Amino acid sequence: MRIATYNINGVKARLETLEAWLRRETPDVAILQEIKSVDEAFPRSVIEDLGYNLETHGQKGFNGVAILSKHPLEDVTRGLPGDDSDEQARWIEATVVGKTALRICGLYLPNGNPAPGPKYDYKLAWMQRLQARAAALLAAEEPALMAGDYNVIPQAEDARHPEDWVEDALYLPQTREAFRSIVNLGFTDAFRAGTQGAGHYSFWDYQARSWERDNGIRIDHFLLTPQCADLLQGAWIEKEARALDKPSDHVPVWVELDI
DNA sequence: ATGCCGACTAATAGTCGA
Q: What would the pLDDT profile of A133-184 be if each residue is shown by its tens digit?
A: 999 999 999 999 999 999 999 999 999 999 999 999 999 999 999 999 999 9
Convert the pLDDT of each residue in A224-252 to its tens digit.
999 999 999 999 999 999 999 999 999 99
Residue A235 · residue A191 · CB < 8 Å: yes
Q: For residue A226, is the peptide bond before it cis, meaning its omega torsion is within 30 degrees of 0? A: no
Gap from A89 CA to B11 C1', Å: 26
Specify the pLDDT at position A215: 95
Convert the pLDDT of each residue in A87-97 to its tens digit.
999 999 999 98
What CATH number does the domain located at A2-257 have? 3.60.10.10
Report the candidate in A141, A155, A142, A239 with the shortest Cα–Cα distance to residue A189: A155
Gap from A156 CA to B2 C1', Å: 25
A122 is a catalytic site residue = no
What is the H or E stretch that residue A91 is in? strand A91-97
Residue A253 · residue A235 · CB < 8 Å: yes
Cβ of residue A21 lies below 7 Å from strand B:
no
Q: What are phi and psi of A19, to 5 degrees?
A: -65, -45
SS3 of residue A123 by DSSP: helix
Cβ of residue A107 lies below 7 Å from strand B:
no
Percentage, residues of chain A above pLDDT 90: 98
Report the candidate in A29, A47, A190, A51 with the shortest Cα–Cα distance to residue A102: A29
A57: annotated binding-site residue?
no
